[in-house]
Structure formats: structure tokens, C-alpha cells
Structure 1
Amino acid sequence: MECLLGVCCRDFVVLAADCNAGRSIFVMKQDQDKLFKLDDRLAVVVAGESGDTTPFGEFIEKNVQLYKIRHGYSLSTHSAASFVRKQLADCLRRSPYFVNMLIGGHDGYDGGAALYFMDYLATMAKVPFGAHGYGSYLSLSILDKYYREDLTEQEAIELLGKCIAEIQKRLVLNMPNFKFHVIDKDGVRVVRDTAVEMES
């Protein structure tokens, strides 16, 4: 009952997540921020079991910060995604975390932007765009049709807005609020934190 969307272009990543926090068929609140900022230019959005998403997100967040303190430099986006994948894989047969994620980051001025898709089975793939949840059934075809690597920031946000409008129009679940984050060479920032209007 959650939805994560992400688009990676040449110089930035846009991550969008719904703001619902629910249990079973009930919505507890509609202003939940599902993004964890791992570093200055690295972040992850999480969806899954509510008892797993926050503890696992905080665990990853604190361990990436600990790595930076111990070694004096930050993990690259790929290294951070590999670390997260190993943690999920290690826990898979002991006490698994039912957490799906999109990890986005920008590796300084030379490294460029990257987006990684990861599910609760520790499957990891570097992707140009990704989605999790029921909303992915409606949004992946839109992303496949309209995605270009050279999208501007505004165009990428509008593309995710198209996906969200379709989700709100077609999906029986109520997802009125989404929060958009952009990750680029300047850091992680919120670009939209309101309900997205449905297209007619």
C-alpha cells in the first residue's frame, strides 16, 4: 500500500514517495517522510513493513555516517548500495527485513548521478528509473515511454507527477500526498511536499 518512484538523469536524481503510514487496511497518518539522508549527496527512500522500514533505515543511515567518521571520506553511491544489499542478504535467512528501497546519490562533480533499485530479497540493480509498490504497475509504462537521460529537473518532476496522477486516478488505494526530493552536486533537498493535482 506504499509507492516509491525514482528517476536518474545525468546530473541529478529525483525521488518521490507517498506520505501514508498505515497498518493493514488503516491509514494512521498522511505526512510520513520515507527518506533517510545517508550523506550530503546520498539518500534512500524506503517502503515495506512499518516495523522494519524505520529501524532498517536508521541502521543504514548511522552506519554510513560511522564509516565516514572512521575513514575520513564518504561512500560512493555504488558502495553504499552494495553495503545495504549485504545487510539485507545477511539478514535474509535469520530475521529478514521486509523493506523495498530506491537509493539515489550524486558522486561529486565527476561521478555523476546514480539510482539503485533494491527489494526485500536483496536484489540490486542500477536503473535509469524505478518504482516500488502497487503504483509501479501503473507508472513503469509511463516512465518507459517518456524517460530521457537529458531531462531537466523540472521535466523529471513533471514526469513523476504524471505517474502520480495516474496512480491517484486508477488505483483504489488513497495516496493524496507525495514528497519529492532532488539529489544533485549541491546535496539533498525537498522540491515539493504537497498533494499532486490529478490530470484531467
Structure 2
Amino acid sequence: MDSVLAFTTKDAAVVVTDMSTNQDIFVLDHQADKIHEIFGKHMMVVTGDPGDSCSHSDFIKRNLNLMYYRDNKQQPTINASVNWIREGMWESIRDHPIHVKIVYAGIDEDNQPSLYTIDEYGALMKPQHIAQNYAMYFLLSVFDKYWNNDLDREGIIELVKKCITVLNRRMMLQQHRFMIKIATANGIERIPIDYTPEILKAE
């Protein structure tokens, strides 16, 4: 039940996930940070089967860092990173069944934001905004209506709150705690948010 949404603006890349860790009907953690930070300005979320997502995210992070040091601390671009990840997914899918989805976003050295997503079949896309898992059934229309490329920090937070409101109104399992990470030329800003829409608050 991981809820993932991400989008870019003219000078930032934004990734948002819920902060709960679930196993069947049990909630194990309310403080989980599911967004991996790489190179200080890259962000990655891996969701899917718990075993596959955990092992695959560790494998990707460590190999990207190995590439960084092997190339004399030359940071790979976001495009190069996601294409390497996609090739690895193709090899894994051919070798044994895996079930993961990946969102990869960040800022390159030219300060241009990028957002990519890889589905469970290894198909790579470069959207301006994305929602994954059950959240996509509710949030793509919210992005169509409220997203624009000129959003500032306050506008980003307001858009995320609109998304949380829609999720809590329409989805059976309500999620309130989310982590927002905004990658800009200055690095990654972390904004944990615990937001309960007014319509759901007790009188």
C-alpha cells in the first residue's frame, strides 16, 4: 500500500511517499523514510514486493556509488543512472521473476530537474508528474488540474496537501503522514508532513 507521487517544476524535482510500513493488516512503522538519497541531489523510491524492493534498492544504491568512485568521483547523470537501472532490471526479469517499480528524480549538474519511472516490466518513461500503486487511480486527475511548471515551495506543499485530501476521501486505508523531498540546485530539502484534511476531522 505504498503511495508514491512525484513531479518536476522549472527548478525542482519533488518526490513524496507515505511514511508507514505495513505487513498484511499490521502497521509496523509510522516513521519510515522510503526515499533514498543518492549523490546529494538524486532521489529514488523502489516499491513492490517487500523482499525485491529492499534488495533491489540496496543493490542500486551501492552500485551507483561504486560507479561514482570508480570514475574518479564523476557523478553520473540522472539519465545515465536510470538507463543503467533499467538494463539491470531487464537482466533480473530474464533470470528470475521480480516485482518492483522505481521512481528516480533529481537535479543534474546543469541544475535541470528530471523525473523518470520504471515499471515492473522494465519500461522507462519520463513524465512531468507521476503517481504509483493505488494512488495513481486517484491522483493523476489532481495533477492534471493543479500541477504547473511554475510552482514554488509553498505551491508544492499545497499541491501535496490536495493529493493527501483526495487519497483520504476516496481510498479505504487513510494515510496522513508523508515525507516530501524537494531536490534543487542547493541540495535536497526534507519536509515531513502530518496532514488530516478538514473533512475528516472530528467535530
The TM-score, its normalising length taken from structure 2, stands at 0.92
Which residue does 1:56 correspond to in 2?
56
Q: Which amino acid aligns with 1:103?
A: Y
Q: Which amino acid aligns with 1:86?
A: E
The TM-score, its normalising length taken from structure 1, stands at 0.93
Question: In the aligned structure 1, how far is the partner of 2:97 from the partner of 2:9?
Answer: 32
Contact 2:19–2:33 (Cα < 8 Å) also in 1:
yes
CA deviation map 1:79-112 (0-9, x unaligned) = 111111111111112223321121111012x350
Q: Which amino acid aligns with 1:57?
A: S
Which residue does 2:178 correspond to in 1?
178
Q: Which amino acid aligns with 1:196?
A: Y
2:111 is the alignment partner of 1:131: no
Range with bigger deviation, 26-35 or 122-131? 26-35
* Residues 196, 69 of structure 1: alpha-carbon distance in 2 compared, 3 angstrom cutoff: same
Which residue does 2:108 correspond to in 1?
107
Q: Which amino acid aligns with 1:179?
A: M
What is the CA distance between 1:147 and its match in structure 2?
Answer: 1.2
Which residue does 2:84 correspond to in 1?
83
Contact 1:4–1:46 (Cα < 8 Å) also in 2:
no
- Percent identical pairs in the alignment equals 26
Question: In the aligned structure 1, how far is the partner of 2:186 from the partner of 2:111?
Answer: 13
What is the CA distance between 1:153 and its match in structure 2?
Answer: 2.3
Which residue does 1:187 correspond to in 2?
187
Contact 1:33–1:179 (Cα < 8 Å) also in 2:
yes
4+ residue runs over 4 A deviation: none
Q: Which amino acid aligns with 1:186?
A: N
CA deviation map 1:117-161 (0-9, x unaligned) = 111211111110001011111110000111111111221221122
Gaps of 5+ in 2: none
- SS of the residue corresponding to residue 135 of structure 1 reads helix
- SS of the residue corresponding to residue 97 of structure 1 reads coil
2:197 is the alignment partner of 1:198: yes
CA deviation map 1:154-198 (0-9, x unaligned) = 21221122111110121001322111101111112212x131221
What is the CA distance between 1:25 and its match in structure 2?
Answer: 2.8
Number of aligned positions between the proteins: 198
Gaps of 5+ in 1: none
Q: Which amino acid aligns with 2:29?
A: K
Larger radius of gyration: 2
